[in-house]
Chains A and B, each alone.
Chain A
Amino acid sequence: MDYAIEMNNVNVYIDNRHILKNISLKVPYNTVYVIMGPSGSGKTTLLRVINRLIDVNPNAKVEGVVKVLGLNALNHDPYDLRRHIGMLFQVPNPFPHMTIYDNVAVAARINNVARNKKDLYEVVKWALEKAMLWDEVKDRLHDYPHQLSGGQKQRLCLARALAMKPKILLLDEPTANIDPVNARKLEEAIISLKNEITIVMVTHNPHQAARVADYVSIIYDGRIVEQGPASQIFLKPSTEIAQKLLRGEI
């Protein structure tokens, strides 16, 4: 079977510290794959290996085999790779110097998703609707993001990522800094995208994971301690770490 993302014995060193140890996982297409673990376990680093954002840190070293969308991610041109992968960050980061419209449009434009102004407008509208933000911003598309709330900013970032028409969406604790109401809205948007896009989400929150996940990997101290279908992990966690995590003890 083809997997959207495959990792085999991946080791990552940052500043000579061994952050990820022998990571192996397989993410099937068009599912929600959740990575859970306590702070500092390497979840964010793992995510950043997938779209090679880890390259931005000059002190990072990645070893092993990483296959993304059938391509050898570590050898492929990272800029080309990233065109197929969208990402949401822990703290929402819409471009402060661009209007709400432009924030979404720029992603579509540089990836040649739309060729003319009319198509571009359609894509932006579609992306904002999918991110459940259209109704709230349709009258102020030319305002700047600093006027939005944290939750709205994050949905704007989702729209921006969707405007790329990516095949994979990486979400790094996307609701960690948002109020619960907006968090739910974001989760709804994510679930609605499940059948079109492969989603990898990092979260701290076992309840959120239970709501959205198809598959789960539990990561602790840079190692995957347990992984499998969500139902199996949530109902019968086999390792002590997984049990502690799901109970909210670590």
Chain B
Amino acid sequence: MISKRDKFFILSLLPFSISLLAILIITVIAITSRSIDSIAFFGIKLFTSNVWDPEHEKYGVLGPIAGSLITSLLATLTALALSIPLSILIAEYLHGAAKNFMSSIVELMSGLPTIIYAMWSSTYLSLILKTYVMDPLSKYLSFIPIFSCRVISPFTLFTAGISMGIYLVPYITALILESYNSIPITYKEACLGIGATRYETVKILLSLIKPAILASVILGIARALGETTIAVTTVGNSMYLSSCLFSPGYTVSALVASQFGNAYLYKFAESALYASSLVILGVAIVLSFTGLTIMSNWRRRVVV
């Protein structure tokens, strides 16, 4: 029953939809095919050891992968700590022009070129963090393993985590605000009806959107895993792997950014970089879909 005109319509649109599909497929195939060499040669050691020695063709990307995960987690937690209050402020306490203004500020932050975040973080934030957070914590709380190293440079896993966290704030805020605003108004009215104060209402409503917050955390980690410029300029770019947050480290994207240029000179360097990117890509996609699924399931249950 598809009319001729509809057929023409679909045919004229087909190339564009297909090209999107093709782009993804080609990307995945390209990365996978270039990763195979190093994975085949080094096996699991590629991911469980920590060394970057192209001259001797020794590669192990445990450090960068761990660094990516650690900084992304730290970033998301930082962003969460800042975003929830900001979302509550916008959703509950501000009205009219003030609300529009704040929302616009968040929108402004969300599109800001990451290179500017990176510049600011590496030039200013890193020093602030070193002086006011890392130095004191490593001096007084050095019995806690994550604070236990001497802070030599301001560029550490911690700095990268906090910097990416600030970059993530608008993204997480937008997700939380969207979820908070889609709570059916009957629940908000119910809270008012039982005489709850603002604080108590917010506590109840926040518990209602717990799955959405979880989804936002997962999506935030996925976002942070792919972030490059902020990571390269703040993480310290060192293969050193330790349990201390205040030491310099690497993320996979920072590793690629600094080593890809020279990688063609060596036999397995490029492939090792592709392989580590493949891991991050895989994790990011899995996390993305998990987060989106949790979010849509929550929506279907609560928002109706």
Contacts and interface: CB of A to CB of B under 8 A. Distances in A.
Contact present between A and B (CB < 8 A): yes
A78 B5 CA distance: 9
B1 A79 contact: no
A77 B1 CA distance: 9
Contacts of A55: 1
A74 interface: yes
B3 interface: yes
Contacts of B5: 77, 79
Contacts of B3: 77-79
Nearest to A78: B3
A74 B3 CA distance: 10
Contacts of A74: 1
Contacts of A78: 3
A79 B4 CA distance: 10
Interface in B171-185: none
A55 B3 CA distance: 10
Nearest to A61: B1
Contacts of B1: 55, 74
Interface residues of B, number: 4
Interface string A65-100: 000000000100111000000000000000000000
A74 B4 CA distance: 13
The binding surface of chain A is classed by DSSP as: helix
A77 B4 CA distance: 7
A224 B1 CA distance: 26
B115 to A, nearest CB: 39
B264 to A, nearest CB: 51
A55 B9 CA distance: 15
Interface in B51-84: none
Interface in A35-73: 55
A110 to B, nearest CB: 13
Contacts of B4: 77
Contacts of A77: 3-5
Interface in B1-31: 1, 3-5
Interface string A170-213: 00000000000000000000000000000000000000000000
A31 B247 CA distance: 87
Contacts of A79: 3, 5
A235 B270 CA distance: 89
B12 to A, nearest CB: 15
A45 to B, nearest CB: 16
A26 B1 CA distance: 24
A59 B78 CA distance: 46
A55 B1 CA distance: 9
A77 B3 CA distance: 6
A233 B5 CA distance: 42
A56 to B, nearest CB: 11
A77 B5 CA distance: 8
Nearest to B4: A77
A78 B1 CA distance: 10
A218 B180 CA distance: 47
8 contacts: A55-B1, A74-B1, A77-B3, A77-B4, A77-B5, A78-B3, A79-B3, A79-B5
Interface of A: 55, 74, 77-79
Interface of B: 1, 3-5
The 5 closest A-B pairs by CB, nearest first: A77-B3, A79-B5, A78-B3, A77-B4, A77-B5
